[in-house]
Amino acid sequence: MRCFSCGRWSWSVICLACRSMLFVPTIATRQLGELDVISFFAYTTLAPLLHTKHTPEGYRIYRALGRMVLRPFILEFVEVDEGRVYLIGIDEVVKGGYAHVALLTRAMKTPATPPLHATLLAQNPLTYAGKSLAYRMENPRDFSYHGKRGIDVILVDDIITTGSTLREAHQLLTQEGVNVLFALTLADANR
């Protein structure tokens, strides 16, 4: 196949040269009230890749990003942390043939970090892309949670923009007796 980024022939959807030159993650943390949100890239760096979501090539790209970026982080985390921590992706619903956030949580699956797929779903199916903070505040995603209670959790999403989605998800999970340790996102629009 061809590298999605540079177009050269490659064994993978993002070639080794692009992995080592362009897509070098740097970890940053944004605080949303009590919740720390860790991101690995500025949104502009990843934008062409993230725009493939819900398209056929987006399946391979999201899977590759999960393996390249999130999996190394979680393997280090598992070495330090003892005990089980569940992974909860934001709104893992199938669109365009796959749930893009579920590709990320699946890439992070280890015996100590099992994903709870599709347990945190938005009941309000609107999309926030390109919408203002005011719009997002007036139109909450209205999450429902069907997973375990009394557990430690890492929240996962692809992008943080205003933070209203993660804030709402964190609030609901806390009310449901779930202890959210932190959130992981690939890219932060504020960086």
Please report, as ranges, the residues that interact with Zn ion according to CB under 5 A. Answer: 3, 5-6, 15, 18
Q: Residue 60 class from Cβ within 10 Å (0-12 exposed, 13-18 middle, 19+ buried)?
A: middle
Q: Which residues contact 80 (CB under 8 A, 6 or more apart)?
A: none
67 or 117: whose CB is closer to Zn ion?
Answer: 67
CB 57 → Zn ion: shortest distance, Å? 14
4 or 59: whose CB is closer to Zn ion?
Answer: 4
CA nearest to 34, candidates 162, 170, 142, 188: 170
15 or 50: whose CB is closer to Zn ion?
Answer: 15
CB 17 → Zn ion: shortest distance, Å? 5
CB 3 → Zn ion: shortest distance, Å? 3
How big is the chain by its Cα radius of gyration, in Å?
16
CB 44 → Zn ion: shortest distance, Å? 18
Which own/partner pairs from 138-142 qualify as long-range (CB within 8 Å, at least 24 positions apart)? 140/164, 140/168, 141/91, 141/165, 141/168, 141/169
The length of the chain in residues reads 191
18 or 186: whose CB is closer to Zn ion?
Answer: 18
CB 48 → Zn ion: shortest distance, Å? 12
15 or 101: whose CB is closer to Zn ion?
Answer: 15
* Cα gap 16→23, rounded to integer Å: 10
Yes or no: say if 78 and 110 are a contact pair by the CB < 8 Å rule: yes
**Which tokens go with 61?**
């790209």
